[in-house]
């Protein structure tokens, strides 16, 4: 039987995952049942894809075999309470809400419900997401595989123990924001040197993408790849020294640590 996939919350992340899966052509749009509190978000999707736009979160829960919940963390309890009675025992609930633990979800929908906590990121929109998955004990290996297969349509996945989700949030969930800041800064530097802004963004974005690809495809250590760029007595090593003097790496580590701390706070650990 065809799997029915529900989405509750069609904002940045819900749409990124949903559109990413549809774009990968692995699952037809007609298998998706979606709802957002703002009807225009469903209508916008419907204009482009043959998804079923439902009238409520309850209706999505009734239909779906796997239901993604992609509302903000402060809205998730309302959604879970609303759908709790509609969920079948076999329904797999997938939450992408940052800082919301499996225990917090179980406390609302029941300890015998199948739950997978996922930490995705917005590059899902272009099939380049990095997602972590953490199942509760009710989820079978086959069910985990089925959800992982969906997320593999939109990028790379790793199964993680829940205590590591804070790190996955800092490096994966929040990471794109830091990377975009880096791209902006790289481009600003080039503009300062006289390049047009349009060209500077193209050079900066392609350079970041190419560098990431080079590391993933060669499996080489980032330090080795950095060394390959730095000619002795050459140009790049001058820039490397500037970044080190400006504590670039410590600043990035601090940013990830700040996200980890906030994630722990949302989870009630701090
Ligand atoms: N954005 C990102 O990069 C990432 C986000 N996440 C997580 O994804 C989740 C969603 O984030 P994001 O997409 O950015 O948020 P958005 O605000 O963009 O999207 C959430 C959508 O759900 C709607 N909504 C609120 N309440 C309900 C409800 N009861 N039923 C149906 N829809 C509802 C929201 O409306 P309204 O705006 O009125 O609330 C909004 O349209 C969050 O929990 C976040 O932690 C995880 C990783 C990365
Ligand atoms: O900023 C946030 O809270 C969400 C979670 C990770 C990325 N965006």
pLDDT tens-place string over residues 67-93: 999 999 999 999 999 999 999 999 999
Residue ranges around ligand 1 (CB below 6 Å): 8-14, 35-38, 41, 57, 70-73, 75, 78-79, 96-98, 119-122, 173
Say if ligand 2 is within 6 A of residue 132 CB: no
Question: Is residue 270 pLDDT above 90, yes or no?
Answer: no
How large is the greatest C-alpha to C-alpha distance in the chain, in angstroms? Answer: 68
Residue 111 pLDDT class (50, 70, 90 cuts): very high
The CATH superfamily label for domain 175-266 reads ProC C-terminal domain-like (1.10.3730.10)
Nearest Cα residue to atom 1 of ligand 2: 174
Helix, strand, coil percent values for the chain (each to nearest 5): 60, 15, 25
Nearest CA to ligand 2 atom 5: 98
Please state which CATH number belongs to domain 5-166: 3.40.50.720
Strands 129-135 and 114-119: antiparallel
Q: Which residues of 193-222 are buried (b: 16+ CB within 10 A; e: fewer)?
A: eebeeeebbeebeeeeeeeeeeeeeeeeee
Using most ligand atoms within 8 A of CB, pick from 172, 173, 180, 266 the residue to mutate for ligand 2.
173
99 lines ligand 2 (CB under 6 A): no
Between the CA of 58 and the centroid of ligand 2 the distance, in Å, is 25
pLDDT digits (tens, 9 = 90+) for 157-203: 999 999 999 999 999 999 999 999 999 999 999 999 999 999 999 99
Best of 75, 98, 118 for a ligand 2 pocket test (most atoms within 8 Å of beta carbon)? 98
Please report, to the nearest 10 degrees, the dihedral formed by the alpha carbons of residues 47, 3, 6, 63 taken in order: 100
Contact (Cβ atoms closer than 8 angstroms) between residue 53 and residue 46: yes
Q: How far is the CA of 70 from the centre of ligand 1 (A)?
A: 5
Q: Is the CB of 173 under 6 A from ligand 2?
A: yes
Pairwise CA distance, residues 58 & 35, whole Å:
9
Q: Which helix (H) or strand (E) holds 162?
A: none
* Helices 248-266 & 175-192 angle (0-180, nearest 10): 150
What CA–CA distance (Å, rounded) separates 79 from 158? 27
Give residues with Cβ within 8 angstroms of 260, minimum separation 6.
Answer: 166, 167, 169, 170
Query: Tokens at residue 117, please?
Result: 């906590």
> Whole-model pTM above 0.80?
yes
DSSP tag of 59? H
Residue nearest to atom 23 of ligand 1 (CA): 9
What CA–CA distance (Å, rounded) separates 91 from 89? 6
Spans of all domains in the chain = 5-166, 175-266
Q: Is the ipTM reported for this complex over the cut 0.85?
A: yes
pLDDT greater than 70 at residue 1: no
Q: Which two tokens stand for residue 33?
A: 């049942």
């Amino acid at each position: 039987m065809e799997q029915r996939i529900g989405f509750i919350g069609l904002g940045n992340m819900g749409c990124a995952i949903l559109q990413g899966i549809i774009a990968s052509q692995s699952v037809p749009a007609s298998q998706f049942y979606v709802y957002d509190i703002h009807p225009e978000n469903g209508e916008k999707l419907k204009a482009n894809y043959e998804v079923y736009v439902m009238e409520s979160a309850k209706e999505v829960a009734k239909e779906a075999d796997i239901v993604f919940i992609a509302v903000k963390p402060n809205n998730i309890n309302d959604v879970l309470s609303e759908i709790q009675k509609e969920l079948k025992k076999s329904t797999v609930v997938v939450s992408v809400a940052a800082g919301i633990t499996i225990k917090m979800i179980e406390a609302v929908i029941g300890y015998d419900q199948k739950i997978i906590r996922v930490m995705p990121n917005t590059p899902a929109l272009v099939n380049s997401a990095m997602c972590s998955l953490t199942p509760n004990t009710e989820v079978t290996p086959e069910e985990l595989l089925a959800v992982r297969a969906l997320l593999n349509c939109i990028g790379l996945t790793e199964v993680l123990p829940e205590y590591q989700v804070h790190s996955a949030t800092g490096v994966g969930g929040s990471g794109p924001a830091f990377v975009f800041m880096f791209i902006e800064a790289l481009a600003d530097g080039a503009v300062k040197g006289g390049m047009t802004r349009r060209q500077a963004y193209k050079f900066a974005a392609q350079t970041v993408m190419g560098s990431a690809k080079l590391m993933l495809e060669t499996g080489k250590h980032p330090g080795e790849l950095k060394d390959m760029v730095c000619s002795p007595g050459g140009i790049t090593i001058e820039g490397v020294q500037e970044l080190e003097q400006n504590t670039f790496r410590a600043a990035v580590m601090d940013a990830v640590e700040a996200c980890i701390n906030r994630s722990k706070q949302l989870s009630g650990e701090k």
